[in-house]
Amino acid sequence: MTSARPAAPPAELQLLLIGIGGQGIQLIGKTLAQAATNTGKHAMLAADYGGEMRGGPSNASVVIGTEPLRSLPILPSATAAIVASHKFAGPVPQRLREGGLLLRNSSVVDSGAGREHHRVVEVPATAMATELGAPQASGFILLGAFNRLTGLVPEAELVTAMTALLPPYRAQHATKNAEALSAGAAAVAGQEAPR
């Protein structure tokens, strides 16, 4: 009689999003979670932000899996992180698991710890967003880069989710946000991990 092996836990990606108010951290977290759900994946999102409109801490956690999720989106550690600002980044490299993806906005985040234990990718998101004429879209540049690096969802699904999530008074930003997603993906083309 052979004993049955326990089922392997479902593949999950746990993502930390770290930034400041005004960088779109909450919106890109919602966009990624919604796009994942729209493509048949399971997703959970947790938000943590200060009371300030701009400049205060803004963090989110997103967990995405192909099966019902076992991890809560309150993450002491994660498989990936997007750091949009150094201001409240704290010990992100220490929270990232060995070999995890650390995507940094090199326009405002200094190259620092993490290279010896993580896959570090740097994208000058703030500078790129300014060049696009959409300084508010740096978060979408980082999201586009992250999605290209991980292959989580088709880019068109991110655009669909983002457009649906924008409130009516911000609908005019949809086109530039979509351009930012594409620009972020193009910035890391060729750096995708093998699947």
Instruction: Please report the domains of the chain, with CATH numbers, ordered by start residue.
Output: 12-187 (3.40.920.10)
pLDDT in tens, 110-165: 776 656 778 999 999 999 999 999 999 999 999 999 999 999 999 999 999 999 99
- Virtual CA dihedral for 24, 66, 94, 192, nearest 10 degrees? -80
CA distances from 28 to 34, 104, 115, 142 (A): 10, 15, 25, 9
Q: Is the pLDDT of residue 182 over 80?
A: yes
Confidence of residue 55 (pLDDT cuts 50, 70, 90): low
pLDDT attached to residue 2 = 42
| Average of per-residue pLDDT values in the chain | 86
* Top-confidence residue, 172 or 117: 172
Confidence of residue 9 (pLDDT cuts 50, 70, 90): very low
Q: For residue 105, which phi and psi values (nearest 5 degrees)?
A: -80, 95
Rounded Cα gap, residues 57 and 188, in angstroms: 27
